């Protein structure tokens, strides 16, 4: 199977390349803007620079490579930046999806598109796959619109993987996440305020990559919720992180989201019901504590 991954330099992209190149008879093309940032030798892997907002470039690479499937992870995901740079957000999060959907339909390529819990207003989580979108931010609206682009594309074989609060470690350690932030802050004795009035089902990046692979492997069509299973607040995540590393929580202050001013609204309670993914795909995510342990091992390996 030949699989093309957009956004291969990102966290999920890196996890996908690592996972997919380890599968038998799997040829992988990674694409992103600029140079390949993924270090290491991967069997049956090729990197190509691609700007997904360039319709001609998208058509050229799909027609040349003729992959069996495209996993589209590239997106503008900074929620507040999307609010202030709406034209840029729409170009990357909606129009680029249109270009990929057009090309995939034209060449008979299966398209897996990544989406988010931010398509919901957060008043009725956890959500199943059939709940209508109700975004409250421009980012959420852009992702909801992109889903419709995929669903309405004539002749396209498609799937949508919705996910939530993805955490993990990229090779270059360039991104932080709630686990690393809490660990470092508490180790340094810093006072941190952590909200306890927003609920999510946090997703280990490796689990999301596996969910994507299962969808593509079986060419399972439709919408799938791919996330963790535990509904937690950031405060609860921080508490679990502190407990795992044996850190004092004396400098951790429990607070609520009204104490923070952010340009974009956040849905208060999302979370996903992942019954469909477990039943149809055999998807089995790690617990949050298991995810912390995996991160701890990866940090230790990168620092050694």
Neighbours of 290 (CB within 10 A): 13
Q: Are 200 and 177 in contact (CB under 8 A)?
A: no
What residues pair up with 2 in beta bridges, in sequence order?
Answer: 27
What's the pLDDT tens digit per position in 275-298? Answer: 999 999 999 999 999 999 999 999
Give me the mean pLDDT over the 148-175 stretch: 92
d(CA 187, CA 90): 40
Residue 41: pLDDT band by 50, 70, 90 thresholds?
Answer: confident
User: What is the pTM assigned to this prediction?
Assistant: 0.97
**Whether pLDDT at 205 is above 90:** yes
d(CA 151, CA 80): 27
Task: Show the tokens assigned to 30.
Answer: 């990674």
Residue 163: pLDDT band by 50, 70, 90 thresholds?
Answer: very high
d(CA 29, CA 8): 9
d(CA 268, CA 257): 9
C-alpha distance from residue 226 to each of 41, 51, 112, 208 (Å): 28, 26, 12, 6
Burial class of 143 by CB neighbour count within 10 A (0 to 12, 13 to 18, 19+): buried
What's the pLDDT tens digit per position in 46-77? Answer: 999 999 999 999 999 999 999 999 999 999 99
Q: Reduce the DSSP state of residue 260 to 3 states and report it.
A: coil
Task: Show the tokens assigned to 196.
Answer: 């306890």
**Domain boundaries along the sequence of the chain:** 2-169+202-228+271-286
- Spell out the CATH class of 2-169+202-228+271-286: alpha beta
d(CA 68, CA 62): 10
Task: Show the tokens assigned to 212.
Answer: 């994507």
What's the pLDDT tens digit per position in 24-40? Answer: 999 999 999 999 999 88
């Amino acid at each position: 199977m030949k699989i093309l991954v957009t956004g291969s330099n990102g966290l999920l992209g890196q996890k996908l390349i690592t996972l997919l190149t380890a599968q038998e008879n799997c040829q992988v093309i990674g694409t992103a803007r600029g140079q390949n940032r993924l270090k290491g030798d991967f069997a049956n892997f090729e990197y190509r620079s691609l700007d997904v907002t360039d319709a001609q470039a998208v058509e050229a690479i799909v027609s040349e490579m003729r992959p069996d499937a495209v996993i589209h992870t590239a997106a503008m995901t900074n929620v507040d930046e999307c609010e202030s740079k709406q034209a840029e957000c729409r170009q990357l999060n909606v129009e680029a999806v249109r270009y990929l959907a057009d090309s995939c339909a034209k060449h008979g390529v299966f398209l897996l598109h990544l989406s988010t819990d931010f398509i919901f207003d957060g008043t009725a989580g956890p959500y199943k796959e059939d709940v209508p979108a109700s975004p409250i931010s421009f980012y959420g609206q852009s992702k909801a619109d992109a889903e419709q682009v995929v669903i309405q594309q004539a002749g396209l074989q498609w799937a949508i993987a919705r996910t939530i609060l993805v955490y993990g470690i990229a090779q270059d350690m360039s991104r932080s996440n709630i686990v690393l932030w809490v660990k470092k802050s508490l180790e340094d004795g810093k006072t941190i305020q952590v909200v306890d009035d927003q609920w999510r089902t946090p997703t280990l990046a490796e689990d999301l990559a596996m969910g994507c692979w299962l969808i593509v492997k079986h060419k399972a069509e439709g919408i799938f919720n791919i996330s963790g299973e535990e509904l937690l607040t950031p405060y609860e995540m921080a508490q679990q992180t502190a407990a795992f590393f044996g850190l004092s929580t004396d400098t951790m202050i429990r607070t609520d989201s009204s104490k923070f001013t952010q340009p974009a609204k956040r849905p208060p309670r999302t979370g996903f019901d992942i019954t469909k993914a477990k039943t149809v795909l055999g998807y089995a995510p790690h617990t949050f504590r298991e995810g912390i342990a995996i991160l701890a091992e990866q940090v230790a390996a990168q620092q050694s």
